[in-house]
Amino acid sequence: VIPLKELFEDYFEIGAAVTPQQADLGTAHGQTLRKHFSSITAENVMKPDALQRVKGQYTWSSADQLVQFAKDNNMLVRGHCLTWHSQSPDWMFYDENGDLLSRELALAQLEEHITTVVTRYKDDVYAWDVVNEAMFDWDPAGVIEYREDSPWYQMIGETYIDSAFVYARRADPNAKLFYNDYNSIFSWKRNKIYNMVKRLKDNNIPIDGIGLQGHWMVNTSEADIRTTLDLFRSLDVEIQITELDIPVYLSSDEPGATVYNDTFSFRQKMAYTMIFDVLLDYSDIITNVTFWGIGDDHTWLDQPGRKAFPFLLDEELNPKPVYFEVQKLVQNR
C-alpha cells in the first residue's frame, strides 16, 4: 500500500476532515492520518458556534489540539470556516428580542470573530474557508444569485462576503483565502459562483481560491466537473477539493444497505478513478484534495440502516479495492 500522500505528492496535498478524538496518535485514526494524509480540516470544531458559542468567550481547546497534532506530524491545516449561515451562534445574528442585528453591529462582530480566530492560527492554518455556502442552491433559471435566507445576507447584503475576505487578509496576509460551496459543478450554481468571484476580483477583494466541496455521487458527470474547472481556471484562482466523499448509492430512492457489496465496489471504482483522473489533469490549479472523513466508520452521510461507505478506506481503516484502482491509475500516468 502506497500511502495516499506519497501517491499524490507530485500533484496536490491530500487531506481529511477530522474530529479531535481522531487526531491522536494513540488511536488507529491518528496513525492512519499520519500515514496517509498531509493536511487536516476540523470537521466541526473551528466553526463559529464551536469557537465562540457565547459572545466574547472563545473555546480553543479542541481546535488547538487539532493544530498541535498537525504540527507534530508535519501536516497542513485548512481552517473551516469563518462565515456561514449555519453552525453559527444566535448572537451573531439576533438581538434579545429575536430581531436581526443592524448592519453595523453585524459587521463589527464578524470582524472581531475573524480577526481573533485568524490571528490565533496565523502561520498554523495555511488556508481558510472564509465564506461558506453563500450562493442560492436551486434556481436553474439563474435569477436568484445569493442565498437570501442567510442572516448575513439579510443584515448586510452580498458585500458581507467582501468584508469577510478583507478582515481575513488583514489578520493573516499569508493565509490562502477560499470561497467554499457545494453543488458547484452544476451549471446553475457554477455560474453564480463564477460571477460572484469575478465581482470580488474586479473589486480587488483578496480571494485566492475556490473550494469545491466535492460531495459527489457515483454517477456524477465527468463533463460537469471538467466544465467547472475550466470555467474557474479562467478566474485565475487556486482550486481545492475540500470535502470529498462519494456515497455508494445511485440516488436517494435506492434502498439502504449496511453491508458493502460488489455492486457498491464497482460503482466506486468507476467514480473514483474518473474523478482522480480529472483532478490529476487539473493539478496545475488544484492544490489540495481533502476527504470529508478518514474511513467508512465515520461519515456525516450515514443514516440508520443506510450506510454510505464513501471513502477509499473501510470501516477498519484498511484500503478498499477502490483504493488500489486509484493507486493503479496514478502509477500508470
3-state secondary structure 74-108: CCEEEEEEEECCCCCCHHHCECCCCCECCHHHHHH
Rank residues 7 and 248 by Cβ distance to ligand G3I and give the closer one. Answer: 248
Note whether 43 binds ligand G3I by CB under 6 A. yes
Spatial contact of 59 and 27, defined as CB atoms under 8 Å apart: no
Q: What's the rounded Cα separation, in Å, for the pair 20 and 67?
A: 10
Binding mask 110-149 for ligand G3I (x = CB under 6 A): ----------------------x-----------------
Query: In this complex, which beta carbon is closest to ligand G3I, that of residue 43 or of residue 172?
Result: 43
- Which CB atom, from 75 or from 131, has the smaller least distance to ligand G3I? 131
- Nearest to ligand G3I of 213, 288 (CB atom): 213
Across 224-253, b (16+ Cβ under 10 Å) vs e yields ebeebbebbeebebbbbbbbbbbbbbeeee
The reply to whether 283 sits near ligand G3I by the rule CB under 6 A is no
Provide the minimum distance between the beta carbon of 213 and ligand G3I in the complex, in angstroms, as a whole number: 5
For 242, phi and psi rounded to 5 degrees? -100, -20
Member of 87, 219, 258, 263 binding ligand G3I (CB under 6 A): 87
Cell output for 219: 454517477
**Count of residues in contact with ligand G3I, rule CB under 6 A:** 9
Choosing from 21, 86, 221, 258, the residue that interacts with ligand G3I (CB under 6 A) is 86
CA atoms within 13 A on the CB side of 71: 10
Applying CB under 6 A, which residues contact ligand G3I? Answer: 43-44, 86-87, 132, 182, 213, 243, 300
